[in-house]
Amino acid sequence: MPSRFHHPPDTASVLGLPIHLMPDYAGWLFNHLQARQGVHVVTLNAEMAMQGEQNAALARIIHQAELVIPDGAGVVLYLRLRGINAQRVPGIELAEMLLRRSPTTSPPSTVFFYGGAPGVAAAAAQRWQERIPGLHIVGTANGYLSATEQQDLQAQLKALQPNLILVGLGVPRQEFWIVQHRHLCPHAIWIGVGGSFDIWSGQKTRAPSWLRNNHLEWVYRLYQEPWRWRRMLALPKFAWRALRYSERQLQK
Ligand code: UDP
């Protein structure tokens, strides 16, 4: 009998983009890993949904991803306004869950970190390695490679066949890169993790939990990275669109 984890996920819609709802994303992903079924995970937040409206290629990638998780208070609120009780799963937390569980798979899963300024992914890997001695991070690369280094990275991925590949190049660069290169490791889980390496390496900090729990992580990001203000105008635009957009698919 097929495991419930192999069932296609329940799909909701945010501004016409899919969101997959399930109680245990990590379990579903590890089942796919075991079955050698590659997965591209997209962590959808309001900023990305707004980019998807402007960028048809990005929207297509989100539609094609095997798993799209609700990463962001805006997206969860959007769904709740439409009577769908979604739980927020920040991409960084899903990645952390997978890292913690990867030594427990049989055989243990191997991991690759790609992205961030030079040294950042390596520092993040070292911290994780200290925290979880059984974790098997097989390689790291920074996100500013020359054309030759990029070729080397691709050859390395092909040779190593890591099971879990975290790509932190920012949106939408990381999504495009994953789609163009996932054929190198067709059985892997590929996730765009944005600035997670910056946080794991200690370069940046996440918002305190009282802000996160009150859906205000964005306020902290604005305080830490004020130059993001222009990008973050996507948030009020998203709120406006959220109130006006009619998800006809949902009413069917
Ligand atoms: N980055 C990178 N290569 C690039 C551009 C960006 O590795 O060519 C990294 C950058 O160092 C940072 C991450 O991508 O670690 C982007 O983080 P951000 O928090 O801005 O992600 P987003 O909000 O776009 O998901």
User: Which tops the pLDDT comparison, 2 or 152?
Assistant: 152
Q: What is the residue type of 86?
A: A
The CA distance from 135 to 108, in Å, is: 8
Q: How far is the CA of 34 from the centre of ligand 1 (A)?
A: 30
Question: What is the reported pTM?
Answer: 0.94
Asked whether residue 1 carries a pLDDT value surpassing 80, the answer given is no
Task: Work out the pLDDT band at 8, boundaries 50, 70, 90.
Answer: low
Q: Give the helix ranges, DSSP H, for the chain.
A: 25-34, 46-54, 56-64, 73-81, 91-101, 120-131, 147-160, 173-181, 196-200, 209-213, 217-224, 229-232, 234-244, 248-251
φ, ψ of residue 172 in degrees (nearest 5): -100, 5
What sign does the dihedral 180-184-185-186 (CA atoms) show? positive
With a 6 A CB cut-off, is 168 part of the ligand 1 pocket? yes
With a 6 A CB cut-off, is 90 part of the ligand 1 pocket? no
Mean pLDDT score across all residues of the chain: 93
Task: Work out the pLDDT band at 214, boundaries 50, 70, 90.
Answer: confident
Single out the residue of 145, 174, 221 nearest to residue 51, CA to CA: 174
How big is the chain, counted in residues?
252
User: Which tops the pLDDT comparison, 250 or 123?
Assistant: 123
Asked whether residue 158 carries a pLDDT value surpassing 90, the answer given is yes
Phi-psi label, residue 216: left if phi above 0, alpha if psi -120 to 50, beta otherwise: alpha
Sequence-ordered list of residues with C-beta below 8 angstroms from that of 174, at least 6 positions apart, any chain: 115, 167, 168, 192, 193, 194
With a 6 A CB cut-off, is 116 part of the ligand 1 pocket? yes
With a 6 A CB cut-off, is 223 part of the ligand 1 pocket? no
What pLDDT sits at residue 2?
44
Single out the residue of 39, 144, 135, 42 nearest to residue 96, CA to CA: 135
What pLDDT sits at residue 5?
53
Asked whether residue 4 carries a pLDDT value surpassing 70, the answer given is no
Percentage of the chain beyond pLDDT 90 is 80
The CA distance from 141 to 135, in Å, is: 17
Other CB atoms within 10 A of residue 11 CB: 11
With a 6 A CB cut-off, is 143 part of the ligand 1 pocket? yes
Q: How far is the CA of 178 from the centre of ligand 1 (A)?
A: 14
Asked whether residue 208 carries a pLDDT value surpassing 50, the answer given is yes
Asked whether residue 251 carries a pLDDT value surpassing 50, the answer given is no
Provide the token pair at 52. Answer: 């998807």
User: Residue 184 carries which DSSP code?
Assistant: G
Average pLDDT in the 11-22 region? 95
Asked whether residue 92 carries a pLDDT value surpassing 90, the answer given is yes
Asked whether residue 134 carries a pLDDT value surpassing 80, the answer given is yes
Q: How far is the CA of 48 from the centre of ligand 1 (A)?
A: 13
Among protein residues, the one whose CA lies closest to atom 11 of ligand 1: 116
With a 6 A CB cut-off, is 194 part of the ligand 1 pocket? yes
Q: What is the residue type of 24?
A: D
Summarised one tens digit per residue, pLDDT across range 17-72 is: 999 999 999 999 999 999 999 999 999 999 999 999 999 999 999 999 999 999 98
Asked whether residue 172 carries a pLDDT value surpassing 90, the answer given is yes
